[in-house]
């Protein structure tokens, strides 16, 4: 429309052309001025693109807004949406599913002690554990993880080519070594044979940890760590094509240590990372 007026500028009055096309003169001159200028570099746009790329191209408008606010930019969610649309920042997500819980066994099953109390008042009061799968060109890789429900921090993990009891015990031992919990901490898992195994239950008992298990067929009882696995896959795994287990193990460890625990913004934590959330908690004690 502006181009049409410019073409006819010498043949008719600007006011008449604007009136004919239903636009104001001030709007025409402002648009012509913008068109004549070189595209200026937008600092907040640069920061938005950097934050989006740092997230592994996974942030939506809410987290992008929070990330920019943390850098000192007054960017609300709507502005973040506009920036994402203007710079074509589109999260790349795909969903897949493989069943990893085998609850068809005769092993003892613990009660649901946690009872979906996913927000303990302090660290190391309640942990959640689970197993997921990772596709590689060399076959499946299985990841066992342990999360502190207070900060959503992954405090222990292990990976292997099979879903044995040793896998979940290795993840739990890592969590115990790094956190040194006091007796009475609740460790919640599903009813899978790995978690009901004698090896796992004896490890819990040796450190005075209380076993809790989801109700049969109820994935919501362990929803928080299930969400971690979904984030891991949307934000990292499904964007990769791992050649072998070693490549996948290195990349997943990098996601946990280098991004999820210390950088990724969690809406449940007031758009803070798990590490920052724990630091703020420690500062108040």
Res 58: pLDDT: 77
Q: Spell out a b/e string for 14-48, using b for 16 or more CB atoms within 10 Å of the CB, else e.
A: eeebbeeeeeeeeebeebeeeeeeeeeeeeeeebb
pTM score, whole prediction:
0.70
| DSSP-derived 3-state class of residue 102 | coil
CATH number given to 126-283: 3.30.420.10
Strand ranges inside the chain, DSSP E: 126-134, 141-148, 153-160, 186-189, 210-213
Res 43: pLDDT: 84
- Calpha distance 126→230 (Å, rounded): 21
C-beta of residue 228 within 8 angstroms of C-beta of residue 154: yes
Question: Which residues, including other chains, have CB under 8 Å from residue 10's CB and lie 6 or more apart?
Answer: none
Res 39: pLDDT: 47
Res 62: pLDDT: 87
pLDDT in tens, the chain (285 residues): 555 555 555 566 777 777 777 777 777 677 776 655 544 567 888 888 888 888 877 788 888 888 888 888 888 888 888 888 888 888 765 554 444 455 555 678 889 999 999 999 999 999 999 999 999 999 999 999 999 999 999 999 999 999 999 999 999 999 999 999 999 999 999 999 999 999 999 999 999 999 999 988 777 899 999 999 999 999 999 989 999 999 999 999 999 999 999 999 998 999 999 999 999 989 886
Res 97: pLDDT: 44
In the chain, what are the domain boundaries? 1-36, 43-87, 126-283
153-160, strands of its sheet edge to edge: 153-160, 141-148, 126-134, 186-189, 210-213
Res 92: pLDDT: 66
Directed axis angle between helix 14-21 and helix 25-36, to 10°?
100
């Amino acid at each position: 429309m502006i181009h049409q007026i410019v073409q006819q500028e010498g043949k008719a009055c600007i006011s008449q052309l604007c009136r004919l096309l239903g636009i104001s003169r001030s709007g025409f001159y402002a648009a012509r001025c913008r068109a004549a200028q070189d595209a200026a570099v937008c600092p907040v746009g640069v920061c938005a693109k950097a934050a989006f790329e740092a997230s592994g191209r996974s942030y939506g408008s809410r987290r992008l807004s929070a990330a920019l606010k943390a850098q000192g930019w007054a960017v609300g969610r709507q502005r973040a949406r506009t920036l994402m649309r203007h710079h074509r920042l589109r999260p790349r997500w795909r969903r897949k599913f493989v069943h990893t819980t085998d609850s068809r066994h005769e092993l003892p099953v613990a009660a649901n002690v946690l009872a979906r109390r996913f927000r303990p008042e302090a660290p190391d009061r309640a942990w959640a554990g689970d197993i997921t799968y990772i596709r590689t060109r060399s076959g499946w890789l299985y990841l066992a993880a342990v999360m502190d429900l207070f900060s959503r921090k992954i405090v222990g993990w292990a990976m292997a080519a099979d879903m044995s009891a040793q896998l979940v015990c290795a993840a739990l031992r890592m969590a115990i070594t790094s956190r040194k919990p006091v007796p009475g901490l609740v460790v919640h898992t599903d009813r899978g044979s790995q978690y009901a195994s004698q090896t796992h239950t004896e490890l819990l008992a040796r450190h005075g940890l209380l076993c809790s298990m989801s109700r049969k067929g109820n994935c919501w009882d362990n929803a928080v760590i299930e969400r971690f696995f979904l984030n891991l896959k949307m934000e990292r795994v499904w964007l990769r094509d791992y050649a072998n287990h070693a490549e996948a193990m290195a990349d997943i460890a990098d996601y946990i240590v280098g991004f999820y625990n210390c950088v990724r913004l969690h809406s449940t934590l007031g758009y803070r990372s798990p590490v920052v959330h724990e630091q703020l908690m420690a500062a108040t004690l």
